[in-house]
Amino acid sequence: MTNIITTLQTYFAYPFVRYAFIVGILIALCSSLLGVTLVLKRFSFIGDGLSHVAFGAMCVATVLKLSDNMLLILPVTIFCAVLLLCQGQRAKIKGDAAIAMLSVGSLAVGYLIMNMFSGSANLAGDVCSTLFGSTSILTLTQQEVILCAVLSLLVVAIFVLFYNKIFAVTFDEDFARATGVNAGAYNLLIAVTIAVIIVLAMNLVGSLLISALVVFPALSAMRVFKSFRSVTICAAVLSVTCAALGILISVVAGTPVGSTVVVADMAAFAVFTFVGRLSGGVAK
């Protein structure tokens, strides 16, 4: 145990480890907050779809040699999020089908473009790191950390300020509309916020594992708690704890960061399922 603490103290002397820890916790917090809404709206897989869109945009930005990939990734991801979440009943291709089309299409096009045009010396490493988030969280610059922090605080502020409206739109959109809530605008806000979170979360867990950050904390909390507020608070605490634990374990043991965080989330889900069965899920 002393060895582990000493090792952690040594590793935390590196600035990139501190940056990874700060950003990882902020991303986990934001994704868990919106994760509850997505799970309840039956849009659990949208994280996966949007992350693949972000991957495709990242590939195009890399090939175009943009100074900052975010200039392309963020607008494209936001556009697709709005397309998927705000169409509602008017969409000719709905829900899971639309997500699947955008998701696999972006992944395929992105990988094809990278193979045909990229000048990267380590294409496999770049793609692998983006898809699985093995080390990308450990290669953040100070500017990226500040950007992540600002966007994360913005997401938390939006969630806190519009909590009641988000709650209403999540559970019964028609009733919310009937009571004068501008459901369309709040759906748009949720879509934009999710897109921002997805782009940030790619740094932590990679494109393929983002759904875990969104889904697992919410589902784990729902095993034990029943009210929206308690599920949200529990999901946030759980997500932050698992992310912190996952990052610490991966730093000490040398395991891929993204996968370790997801395994920590899975372990928490197993524990909460067990606790939920024992307690009958009555905690509010």
Which residue of 252, 266, 271, 275 would you call a contact of other proteins, by CB under 8 A?
Answer: 252
Q: Which of residues 82-111 bind other proteins (CB under 8 A)?
A: none
Least distance (Å) between residue 19 CB and other proteins: 10
Segment interacting with other proteins, rule: CB under 8 A, options 105-113, 122-130, 178-186, 229-237 = 122-130
3-state secondary structure of 204: helix
Segment interacting with other proteins, rule: CB under 8 A, options 8-16, 30-38, 144-152, 194-202 = 8-16
Rule CB under 8 A: say whether 250 interacts with other proteins: yes
The total of other beta-carbon atoms located within 10 Å of residue 100's CB is 15
The total of other beta-carbon atoms located within 10 Å of residue 21's CB is 18
Amino acid identity of residue 256, one-letter, is P
Rule CB under 8 A: say whether 62 interacts with other proteins: no
Segment interacting with other proteins, rule: CB under 8 A, options 10-18, 91-99, 144-152, 196-204 = 10-18
Q: How far apart are the C-alpha atoms of 70 and 40, rounded to whole Å?
A: 29
Rule CB under 8 A: say whether 141 interacts with other proteins: yes
Rule CB under 8 A: say whether 255 interacts with other proteins: yes
280 backbone φψ class: left, alpha, beta (φ>0; ψ -120 to 50):
left
For residues 40 and 21, the answer to whether their CB atoms sit within 8 Å is no
- Nearer to other proteins by Cβ, of 20 and 221: the residue is 20
Rule CB under 8 A: say whether 143 interacts with other proteins: no
Question: In 41-135, which residue ranges form alpha helices assigned H by DSSP?
Answer: 46-63, 70-85, 95-117, 123-132
The total of other beta-carbon atoms located within 10 Å of residue 42's CB is 10
* Positions that interact with other proteins (CB under 8 A): 11, 14, 16-17, 122, 124-125, 127-129, 134-135, 138-139, 141, 250-257
